[in-house]
Amino acid sequence: MNSLYLASGSPRRRELLTQIGVPFTVVSAAIDETPLTDESPVSYVGRLARGKATAGFAVVESPSNGCVLGADTAVIVDGRILGKPVDQADALAMLMALAGREHEVLTAVALTDGQRCETLCVSSLVRFREIDVEEATTYWHSGEPQDKAGGYAIQGLGSVFVAGLNGSYSAVVGLPVCETAQLLGRFGIPCWQNLTAR
């Protein structure tokens, strides 16, 4: 059975992999996340997921029986990629842009064993209720939006903004569990290892 390495610092992705019974080791994979000129959002998240997986594979000490998973999530509104807010004003602008309407969340996942690299991308639609500036400011001061794409966390305090979701909840959190499980299976990494080991 292949070993899995996760090229991500996201605690949400660690929790989701643990939830489906897949053991893994976290590896560091710092890459430049600046969008390229005229790059589509789908191309952007796919490129970053592959970049993280490849960078992670390069630092794995015994890669012969290992696979590295990379993932990237982006919030899209009016064709714009909303990254992590740089400051309070940026976060408030993002939340105001999302308030009272629907936006797209794209999560790409890439898995490589050094010989091949497969990538998938899951699109979900999230609808926010109206948000006023005072509420957005209070949310910012909670600290939660500071390292989140689009300036909110659907699994945290930001869940109160979400009026509807069409797609994969886990993908919006940061890792589409259903599709990731299928991808891992194609590389010989089964889910529910905590059950089959008994």
CA 118 – CA 42 distance, rounded (Å): 15
In this structure, what DSSP letter does residue 146 have?
G
CA 181 – CA 17 distance, rounded (Å): 9
Amino acid at 128: F
Structure tokens at 31: 């890459």
Q: How many CB atoms lie within 10 A of CB 45?
A: 29
Of 183, 193, 191, 173, nearest to 67 by C-alpha is 183
Which positions are annotated as active-site residues?
Answer: 72
- Compute CA distances 74 → 79, 84, 195, whole Å: 11, 9, 33
